Amino acid sequence: MADDVQQITRVAPHPQRSGMFVVERDGEPWLILSAARVAELGIVAGERLTSERVAAIERASVLDSAMDTALRALAARPRSEAELARRLRQKGLAEEIIADVLARLRQLGYLDDRAFAEAWVAQRRRFNPRGAVALRRELRAKGVASDIIDAVVGDEPENDLAAARAVAEKHWPRLQRLDRAVAERRLVGLLQRRGFSWAVIRQVVGHYVGGETALDE
C-alpha cells in the first residue's frame, strides 16, 4: 500500500501567471495555486499526501480559481454582489465556494453594494439620465437590496426634474422640427421610457412644448 501514497514532487512558479505556482504530484502537473495559498498551506516538494490533505489542497485550488474569476469580472466592470454570485454560478461553482469568495471580497473592500449603487446612479445621472422609477428598477434587477436602493436613489423630485430636463434638452432640437402634437407625443414617450413620473413629465413637456398640452386634458 505504501507504493500508492501520493507525493508532491515539485512546486514551481507558473511560467505565464505572476504570483501563481504549479504544484506537481507524482511527477505530473496537479494544481495551480497562488503564492499566498502555497505559503498558507505549507506546500513543499517531498510531502507525502493523505486523502484529507489532497481534499484540502484541491479545495484551496478551487477557491483560488474562483477568486481569480471574480477579480477578473470586477476588473471588467463594477458589479453588485448578486451579479457576481450569478457569474460564479455560471462557472459551475458550489455555493460554499461562492460564499467564501464573496466574504473575502467584502473583507478586502472589493465588493460593496452601497458603493456600487451610488456609482451606478451617479453614472446614469451624468451620462444617461434616468428617473427614480427606472433607477430603482435597474438596481433591483442587479440584486441590490431595497434599503440600499431607498437610501441611494431617495425621493427628491428636484433630481428627477433636472435629469428629465437634461434628456429633453438633448432631444428637443430634433423634436421641435416636427408637428407640435407629434413632438409632444414623442417627448412624453421618451421621458416615460426613462422612468420619469407623470408630474415631472408634465412639467418638462409644458416647458418645451408651451401652452396647454395633451397632458392637461
For the stretch 155-174, pLDDT in tens is 666 778 888 888 888 888 89
Question: CATH number of 2-108: 1.10.10.10, 3.30.450.20, 1.10.520.10, 2.30.30.230?
Answer: 1.10.10.10
Give percent above pLDDT 70 in the chain.
94
For the stretch 120-159, pLDDT in tens is 998 988 888 888 888 999 999 999 999 999 999 976 667 7
Query: pLDDT grade, residue 209 (50/70/90)?
Result: confident
Alpha-carbon gap, residue 116 to 65, rounded angstroms = 24
Q: Distance of alpha carbon 179 from its chain centroid, rounded?
A: 43
First to last CA, the chain: 91
Residue 70 has pLDDT above 90, yes or no: yes
Contact predicate 137/195, CB 8 Å:
yes
Specify the pLDDT at position 48: 95
Specify the pLDDT at position 1: 39
SS3 of 205, please? helix
Over residues 185-204, the mean pLDDT reads 89
**Domain ranges for the chain:** 2-108, 113-153, 157-216
Nearest to 45 by CA among 63, 27, 62: 27
**What is each CA distance from 22 to 26, 61, 97, 127, in whole angstroms?**
13, 11, 21, 45
Contact predicate 49/63, CB 8 Å:
no
Specify the pLDDT at position 154: 77
